[in-house]
Amino acid sequence: MKSCGLIVEYNPFHFGHQYHLKQSKEASGADCMIAVMSGNFLQRGEPAIIDKWHRTQIALSQGVDIVLELPYVFAVQNSDLFAKGAVFTLHEIGIDTICFGSEQGDITPFMKAYDHLNSQQEYYKESLHHFLNLGYSFPEASRHAYKAIGLSEDSIDLTQPNNILGFSYTKTILDYNLPIAPMTIQRTKSGYHDETITHKIASATSIRKSILKQQEMTQEAEGALPPSSIDKLREYGHKANGWHYWDRYFPLLHYKLTTLSPEEIRTFHGVEEGLEFRLKHTIKEATTFEEWMNLLKTKRYTWTRLQRTITHILTNTKKEELRPLHELERVPYVRLLGMSETGRKYIKEQKKKMNVPILTNMQSGEHEFVTIEERSVDAYFSCLPMVQRKSLRKREIGPPVMPHM
Amino acid sequence: MKSCGLIVEYNPFHFGHQYHLKQSKEASGADCMIAVMSGNFLQRGEPAIIDKWHRTQIALSQGVDIVLELPYVFAVQNSDLFAKGAVFTLHEIGIDTICFGSEQGDITPFMKAYDHLNSQQEYYKESLHHFLNLGYSFPEASRHAYKAIGLSEDSIDLTQPNNILGFSYTKTILDYNLPIAPMTIQRTKSGYHDETITHKIASATSIRKSILKQQEMTQEAEGALPPSSIDKLREYGHKANGWHYWDRYFPLLHYKLTTLSPEEIRTFHGVEEGLEFRLKHTIKEATTFEEWMNLLKTKRYTWTRLQRTITHILTNTKKEELRPLHELERVPYVRLLGMSETGRKYIKEQKKKMNVPILTNMQSGEHEFVTIEERSVDAYFSCLPMVQRKSLRKREIGPPVMPHM
């Protein structure tokens, strides 16, 4: 069976995702579509609006054959580590192609950018440090460094979030010499950061914003979502007494940061250069998450970086726990969140060739990443009332989603 | 000015406390009544039903002249350390007498018990260890040890909570040879643990139970409380959107214990002998605090001991932070929560003779105990909605309560 890998968050699954899925299947000619999906916390340092199980159900209903979990340790990271975890996971399950969305829909400029960057690596690093030392945030500094090494006109714009991710996927494949063909299809017209819904293809950000603002499903959101996505969003909101967003976690974060010492806060992944004092000081002044973020952010710390750090604080994730990621040569396991009948056949075929175990529930794994994963699940549900917290938490130890089996 | 010290929690102040205050003043012939009062967390490991500031206001309105804070580090401890902190604090401010309530109302049997225990100390310790090794809880083991050394009939019953505390006060005075006269007055008839209100003098436990069950002021409670106590309970309940009790903290404790590792939980004061695993394991199963406690308790761990440990977990108090308490020869400061005009004059008189500073607000102190105190305040208010949390927390840095000045 020919397989194609997608790297997704589906937060929530919308028509843009549907388009990407369909185009990728066509372009790759794959029989089996495999998505590696972030669990309950996402790359930009946010809780997913609904949990991984409901997002898996939607993905399967839309034609994804296998949903694998991107472990928390990779999911809430900068693009390089995120890509490493995602590509490695897809590689272990033996995919032939990875297909990602990009502005141009052509893989050549990604390859060119890779070659150019490789030949200019030393100068790029130097420039990057230079701009970081001037107090720029990482994205800003790297934008300037790219300019400095002169990425050509027919190369990609590496300041665009989607291009950065696509480039990181390509880079991981080429750096590790993996037998995977990188592919890209053109994204439909909607900026990643769009905050208003103007047409059927809307960004996930604008859809979440619309729903969360009204605290109910809106017409605008419904117009951009396939029916199963609407159903599952409703269903989850009902079960969990609402959706997940930072404001619901703010009281917990306030409790945690006011009662921990600066020395303890310093142990969390992402807390550097005295940020522990700033975190403690600013949270005392704020009453909402947004108020806090506005007090917290500086030129140096982007909103995304701060949110990632806050996610690690919420999930109690320490620097020392994530240190081994950089040296990792393969993911320690592949966790199956759900599969279709096609997916089941594919896995049966692949299983014998695989070098790492497939986990079908959390109890079957004893890796340190599993411990961190479980903790992140507890943290995710911690904003819910006790009864909902307990009942939704139980799903985590259940079997993968298998519709119609 | 002649002064008399009382050791109190006033949770809440009731007619029994009024009686004790009045009788102590008469018996001691003191001009100035000085109470050392637990702050927001109490000796039996519970949050105070209303905060220290409202309890201070009540105390002053009832005739107490000075309210000093018993630092958190002493307040949530077994009777020996609790007594040490309380007696040392009163000693620093120069009191002449300490007057506590007891069943007999006679100090002689306390003195006798002290002498007897002193002469039998080795045997007592041996017996205590023997019974602890058999798996008894500390109170149970010490009850058996007292029996073993044969405390005479005209001595006190050291299995009664109030007698244990009274004995610890006496012991502290005599052990450290302090120039304080221990006195006791007979308590009015109401068992410490009474859970139903049958007459005007009711236990604080039964009053809290009645109010918390109904979530409003009840007739039974009103019958046992002086008007200022009723007013302040109402006022605080209004300000804080309810009163404080363990159930309101359960979601936070659940979050904390599910996301901390056993190794981290082991660092909290009171977590011994593998209790970290039991804490983590049982909290997953429970939906309310009481459910949890019932899963948690064993023959070895009394409810009170567990509650104290849970308080230290909530306030993030570590073993290493409380280790210095045993060697302490004096309290590092005396914190003033409130004073009457008489109290002010008394303090003016005493101030020059004192060996430690009087803190009139938290910002004036930089001792490690102050840091712990602040943390305990943050933990105390952490069960409230953000707006109430922020506004009530502010009071902590304000000046002492001074009515009519």
Q: In the prediction, which pLDDT does A196 show?
A: 47
Place of tokens 């997916």: A343
Range with the lowest mean pLDDT among A308-312, B324-328, B368-372? B324-328
C-alpha A349 chain-centroid distance = 28
Sheet holding A97-102, edge to edge: A181-186, A97-102, A3-8, A32-38, A66-70, A334-339, A358-359
| CA-CA-CA-CA torsion sign (B218, B220, B225, B226) | positive
Of A275, A321, A277, nearest to A302 (Cα)? A275
| Contact between chains at B378 and A260 (C-beta distance less than 8 A) | no
Residue of B192 and A355 predicted with greater confidence: A355
| Cα-based torsion angle of the residue sequence A281, A282, A288, A294 in order, rounded to the nearest 10 degrees | -170
Neighbouring residues of A237: CB distance < 8 A, sequence distance ≥ 6: A50, A217, A243
Q: In the prediction, which pLDDT does B251 show?
A: 97
Query: Selecting from 3.30.870.10, 1.10.1040.10, 3.40.50.620, 3.40.630.10, what CATH number does the domain A3-103+185-191+330-397 have?
Result: 3.40.50.620
Contact of B81 with B48, CB cutoff 8 Å: no
By DSSP bridging, strand B3-8 and strand B97-102 are parallel
User: Binding residue per annotation — B162?
Assistant: yes
Q: What stretches of A295-379 adopt beta strand conformation (E)?
A: 334-339, 358-359
Instruction: Categorize the per-residue pLDDT at B154 as very low, low, confident or very high, splitting at 50, 70 and 90.
Output: low
Instruction: Categorize the per-residue pLDDT at A198 as very low, low, confident or very high, splitting at 50, 70 and 90.
Output: very low
User: Binding residue per annotation — A162?
Assistant: yes
Is residue A296 over pLDDT 80?
yes
What are the chain B neighbours of A259 within 8 Å (beta carbons)?
314-316, 375, 378-379, 382
C-alpha span between B268 and A81 (Å, rounded): 34
Query: Which residue(s) pair with B185 in the sheet?
Result: B101
Is residue A195 over pLDDT 60?
no
> What's the rounded mean pLDDT across residues B168-179?
96
What are the chain A neighbours of B385 within 8 Å (beta carbons)?
251
Work out the minimum CA distance from B281 to partner chain A, whole angstroms: 13
By DSSP bridging, strand A66-70 and strand A334-339 are antiparallel
**Does residue B277 sit in helix, strand or coil?**
helix
Instruction: Categorize the per-residue pLDDT at B177 as very low, low, confident or very high, splitting at 50, 70 and 90.
Output: very high
Is residue A327 over pLDDT 70?
yes
Contact of B10 with B69, CB cutoff 8 Å: no
Is residue A227 over pLDDT 70?
yes
Model pLDDT for residues B252-294, shown as the tens digit of each residue: 999 999 999 999 999 999 999 899 999 999 999 999 999 999 9
C-alpha span between A178 and A170 (Å, rounded): 10
Instruction: Categorize the per-residue pLDDT at B364 as very low, low, confident or very high, splitting at 50, 70 and 90.
Output: low
| Cα-based torsion angle of the residue sequence B270, B275, B277, B283 in order, rounded to the nearest 10 degrees | -80
Burial of B200 (0-12, 13-18, 19+ CB in 10 A): middle
Is residue B204 over pLDDT 80?
yes
Instruction: Categorize the per-residue pLDDT at A318 as very low, low, confident or very high, splitting at 50, 70 and 90.
Output: very high
Q: In the prediction, which pLDDT does B363 show?
A: 73
Instruction: Categorize the per-residue pLDDT at B201 as very low, low, confident or very high, splitting at 50, 70 and 90.
Output: confident
B324-338: string of b/e by CB count within 10 Å (b at 16+)? eeeeeeebbbbbbbb
Range with the lowest mean pLDDT among A238-252, A371-385, B72-86, B362-376? B362-376
Query: Which residue(s) pair with B37 in the sheet?
Result: B8, B69
What are the chain B neighbours of A251 within 8 Å (beta carbons)?
382, 385-386, 389
User: Binding residue per annotation — A19?
Assistant: yes
User: Binding residue per annotation — A208?
Assistant: no
Give the gyration radius of chain B's Cα atoms: 21
- Closest residue of A to B381, CA-based? A255
Q: In the prediction, which pLDDT does B214 show?
A: 94
**For helices B246-259 and B289-296, what crossing angle results, to 10°?**
60
C-alpha span between A259 and B316 (Å, rounded): 6
| Contact between chains at A259 and B378 (C-beta distance less than 8 A) | yes
Range with the lowest mean pLDDT among A11-15, B82-86, B102-106? B102-106
Q: Which residues of B touch A (CB under 8 A)?
A: 250-252, 254-256, 258-261, 264, 287-288, 314-316, 371, 375, 378-379, 382, 385-387, 389-390
User: Could you tell me what percent of chain A has a pLDDT over 70?
Assistant: 96
C-alpha span between B306 and B291 (Å, rounded): 13
Neighbouring residues of A36: CB distance < 8 A, sequence distance ≥ 6: A5, A6, A7, A8, A68, A69, A70, A86, A89, A90
Model pLDDT for residues B121-137, shown as the tens digit of each residue: 888 899 989 988 888 88
> What's the rounded mean pLDDT across residues B344-361?
94
User: Could you tell me what percent of chain B has a pLDDT over 70?
Assistant: 96
Contact of B331 with B395, CB cutoff 8 Å: no
Which among A252, A264, A389 has the least Cβ separation from residue B252?
Answer: A252
- Closest residue of A to B285, CA-based? A390
- Closest residue of A to B250, CA-based? A386
- Closest residue of B to A255, CA-based? B382
| Contact between chains at B255 and A287 (C-beta distance less than 8 A) | no
| Contact between chains at B386 and A252 (C-beta distance less than 8 A) | no
C-alpha span between A367 and A352 (Å, rounded): 21
> What's the rounded mean pLDDT across residues A107-133?
90
Task: Find which of B285, B310, B386, B392 to mutate to test the A interface (most A CBs within 10 Å of its CB).
Answer: B386
Q: In the prediction, which pLDDT does B152 show?
A: 62
Neighbouring residues of A272: CB distance < 8 A, sequence distance ≥ 6: none
C-alpha span between B28 and A341 (Å, rounded): 86
Model pLDDT for residues A101-110, shown as the tens digit of each residue: 988 889 999 9
Which among B250, B264, B382 has the least Cβ separation from residue A386?
Answer: B250
Range with the lowest mean pLDDT among A228-232, A351-355, B329-333, B362-366? B362-366
Q: How distant, in Å, are the alpha carbons of A357, A379, A396, B20, B377 from that of A364? A: 10, 21, 12, 62, 42
Task: Find which of A41, A247, A259 to mutate to test the B interface (most B CBs within 10 Å of its CB).
Answer: A259
Q: Where are the domains of chain B?
A: 246-316
Q: In the prediction, which pLDDT does B40 show?
A: 97
| Contact between chains at B389 and A254 (C-beta distance less than 8 A) | yes
- Closest residue of B to A262, CA-based? B371
Is residue B119 over pLDDT 80?
yes
Is residue A374 over pLDDT 90?
yes
> What's the rounded mean pLDDT across residues A117-133?
89
| Contact between chains at A255 and B251 (C-beta distance less than 8 A) | no
Of B350, B19, B365, nearest to B186 (Cα)? B19
Task: Find which of A386, A389, A390 to mutate to test the B interface (most B CBs within 10 Å of its CB).
Answer: A386
Is residue B4 over pLDDT 90?
yes
First and final C-alpha spacing in chain B: 20
**Token digits of residue B176:** 């450290």
Q: In the prediction, which pLDDT does A144 show?
A: 84
C-alpha span between A339 and A360 (Å, rounded): 11
> What's the rounded mean pLDDT across residues B244-258?
98
Place of tokens 């605008």: A220
**Does residue B33 sit in helix, strand or coil?**
strand
CA angle, corner A31, sides to A28 and A32, nearest 5? 95
User: Binding residue per annotation — B138?
Assistant: no
Residue of A366 and B115 predicted with greater confidence: B115
Is residue A159 over pLDDT 80?
no
- Name the average pLDDT for chain B: 92
Which among A378, A386, A389 has the least Cβ separation from residue B259?
Answer: A378
Which among B254, B260, B316 has the least Cβ separation from residue A259?
Answer: B316
**Token digits of residue A383:** 């904003």
C-alpha A390 chain-centroid distance = 25
Is residue B193 over pLDDT 70?
no
| Contact between chains at A258 and B390 (C-beta distance less than 8 A) | no
What are the chain A neighbours of B251 within 8 Å (beta carbons)?
382, 385-386, 389
Question: Residue A37's CB: how many other CB atoms inside 10 A?
Answer: 27
Is residue A192 over pLDDT 50?
no
Residue of B331 and A189 predicted with greater confidence: B331
Task: Find which of A248, A255, A257, A263 to mutate to test the B interface (most B CBs within 10 Å of its CB).
Answer: A255
> What's the rounded mean pLDDT across residues B363-382?
90
User: Could you tell me what percent of chain B has a pLDDT over 90?
Assistant: 77
User: Binding residue per annotation — B131?
Assistant: no
Work out the minimum CA distance from B388 to partner chain A, whole angstroms: 10
Which among B254, B371, B390 has the least Cβ separation from residue A386?
Answer: B254
Model pLDDT for residues B22-44, shown as the tens digit of each residue: 999 999 999 999 999 999 999 99
Which among B252, B254, B387 has the least Cβ separation from residue A255?
Answer: B252
Phi, psi of B68 (to 5 degrees): -110, 150
Q: How distant, in Å, are the alpha carbons of A262, A300, B310 from that of A273? A: 12, 11, 33
**Token digits of residue A213:** 């603002």
User: Binding residue per annotation — B11?
Assistant: yes
Instruction: Categorize the per-residue pLDDT at A124 as very low, low, confident or very high, splitting at 50, 70 and 90.
Output: confident
Q: In the prediction, which pLDDT does B161 show?
A: 78
What are the chain A neighbours of B390 within 8 Å (beta carbons)?
287
Is residue A339 over pLDDT 70?
yes
Question: Residue B403's CB: how many other CB atoms inside 10 A?
Answer: 12
Residue of A116 and A208 predicted with greater confidence: A208
Contact of B201 with B19, CB cutoff 8 Å: yes
Task: Find which of A72, A247, A252, A258 to mutate to test the B interface (most B CBs within 10 Å of its CB).
Answer: A258
**What is the predicted ipTM?**
0.93
| CA-CA-CA-CA torsion sign (A363, A364, A367, A370) | negative
